[in-house]
Structure 1
């Protein structure tokens, strides 16, 4: 499935996931031939939504594992672009070093090696996370962080904030990818998305969508996650899934100057502001902000993550308000059964 006759070919790793399946769908709709990887292509329960996407265009579902060196060679072979979306997420591990950090770094290098070996890949787009940018001690308000900022790993290792292994894994994975790309002459763009919400072909979702709907669903664990994001990030930065996928395709197709890191954040809000918006917009739901909020919630964001670099390249966000984002995600939440009606 090499790029022939003018058809561009893309590989998307971890294709049955929330972001990756939406990206696969978008690429097919744009006329790409797509190869995507999952651990077990024969698992119909996990891959049925991917199989349905085959109606949109040429989509191959291949087997690959981040822990298995060389297993991505076939998937990347002949591709113009490689989107590295698959990554281990193990937020509750007793041993984040073993279960989150080492597998992330190893898996990133594994796919990067396959990209170098292919010899056809014009650009690699790595999906990281904004937690690689802003998890650090910040006193006071009014901070604006850009791609020059890195999370402070010494502080993270000492303080061990929630999901600290995930933060470390993102920083180290980005750094090994950047180093590998430089050493092997690969063009690499890194997308650092914030809280990503919106409808995806994926029939099961974790973290961001349940967190964004937690005040409507009454899911206390998901609400704790949303509050944890505000505490760690100094606000709740949001990007719609459609905007993120468009940004990743934009970064793949853009000229050589698009290499490097890119924060993907459409706007920043707070838990309190989301609660007020939801109470007004969806009066049929009881908006639950939790009993233990006290004075811990912010009235206004303390930190802004700037997407100026992405916008300067010519990208435009479409979903710039809570209203625009939630229209999509509330319907998706109903379809998934996260919201009862």
Structure 2
């Protein structure tokens, strides 16, 4: 049982990130004092969305300069905090050097943050943003799991630097965190393991895979046919709420799958088309798997034939019962998440009518 004093500041790492922004907004709305790390606290343009929320809410925010690979950068931001929410980690589908661009920032960054926790005697709990990617690498892995669905008891054993390097980075980072917490008894660790996060963020011009995929579904990229990628999806607001609940629920422990819907690109396109009609270039037909396998690597080098073989047309199923019972998460309809996120893209001019 870990009691966190709500009057103490909360550190959220990676403050300009998609998920971090929604977590910080929620904390500010609750009147919390927030510390957050960013690469350049003097770049007011990048901080303007957080500043705007802070100006209209009862909470307060302080910015601290830190980089994931700087071992000494997090201690000043952590001073006086009892709760640390570590969200900062790269989420990039295609990189030139997976070790340098994904694994090192995720693993070394986690170790650097937790080393600062070890050195900061006020910290009592760390909530780490992990991922369902730390539980499985490909949908074909799920078929061999108990009840053919993800649970918190399972770990990803199939990802590598050459295949699903992002999933490898999340697996190694979470394992590093559990190894470090076992070496002491002052602070505890709770992890949040989301599936694919969607929903409107605080910055309508944010980059990242969540915005990229939804843009591709609506801008005509998949108009000729949609690959049958099966994924889990969860609203960013539910993931943010889960982080905060994990921080302030005394009995919270262990891993928590955050996944509201077992879905896929085909269903997502159909839901958006049902709401927005033919105004945008949503695909209607499903590409046969052999076609995705044949032409996918030529269109997108990241869409390897191994990835197609192990994922396209294979169901994604996840057990989210622990998030409901332990953290009180209630999942909103997928249609609401998708339409509100896509409307944000429209309002920002990021997708155009057909």
| TM-score, reference length from structure 1 | 0.86
Q: What's the counterpart of residue 107 of structure 2? A: 105
Over 3 Å counting, the alpha-carbon distance change for 1:139 and 1:210 in structure 2 is: closer
SS of residue paired to 1:145 = coil
Q: Deviations over 1:239-295 (max 9, x none)?
A: 111111011101111123x22111100111122222222222211424433888224
Inter-CA distance 11–139: structure 2 relative to 1 (3 Å threshold): closer
Q: TM-score, normalised by structure 2?
A: 0.83
* Match of residue 146, structure 1, among 147, 151, 154: 151
User: 1:339: how far off?
Assistant: 2.3
- Aligned with 1:266 (options 255, 260, 283): 260
- In structure 2, the residue matched to 1:127 is 129
Q: Number of matched residues?
A: 324
- Contact between 1:90 and 1:96, CA under 8 Å: does it hold in 2? no
Separation in 1 of the partners of 2:320 and 2:142? 22
How much does 1:299 deviate?
A: 10
Secondary structure (helix, strand or coil) at the match of 2:182 reads helix
Task: Please state whether the residue corresponding to 1:156 is helix, strand or coil.
Answer: coil
Shift of 1:210: 2.8
| Secondary structure of the corresponding residue to residue 277 of structure 2 | coil
Match status 1:293 vs 2:295: no
> Are the counterparts in 2 of residues 270 and 301 from structure 1 also a CA contact under 8 Å?
no
Match for residue 77 of structure 1 among 76, 79, 85: 79
State the distance in 1 between where 2:73 and 2:199 align: 31
* Residue number in structure 2 paired with 1:278: 272
5+ unaligned residues in a row in structure 1: which ranges?
none
In the alignment, structure 2 segments of 5+ residues that lack a partner are: 293-310
Task: Please report how far the alpha carbon of residue 236 of structure 1 lies from its aligned counterpart in structure 2 after TM superposition.
Answer: 1.9
Tell me how far 1:187 sits from its aligned partner: 0.9
CA contact 2:82–2:123 (8 Å) conserved in 1: yes
Q: Do the aligned residues in 1 keep the contact of 2:92 with 2:208 (CA within 8 Å)? A: no
Q: 2:41 — aligned with what?
A: 41
Q: CA deviation at 1:104?
A: 1.6
The aligned runs of 1:8-47 (5 Å cut-off) are 8-47=8-47
* Correspondence 1:195 to 2:196: yes
State the 1:85 CA deviation. Answer: 0.8
Please state how far the C-alpha of 1:92 moved relative to its aligned partner: 2.7
Question: Which residue of the partner structure matches residue 304 of structure 2?
Answer: none
Q: Are 1:329 and 2:334 counterparts?
A: no
Is structure 2 residue 314 aligned with structure 1 residue 304? no
Cα pair distance change 1:205/1:71, threshold 3 Å: same
For 2:64, what is the secondary structure of its paired residue? strand
Q: Is the 8 A contact 2:92 2:209 kept in 1?
A: no
Between the aligned partners of 1:79 and 1:215, the Cα distance in structure 2 is 41
Q: CA RMSD in A?
A: 2.9
Distance 2:217 2:211 in 1: 12
Query: 1:218 Cα shift?
Result: 2.3
For 2:108 and 2:243, the matched residues in 1 are separated by 23
Aligned-partner Cα distance in 2 for 1:83–1:115: 11
CA–CA separation in structure 2 for the residues paired with 1:5 and 1:244: 22
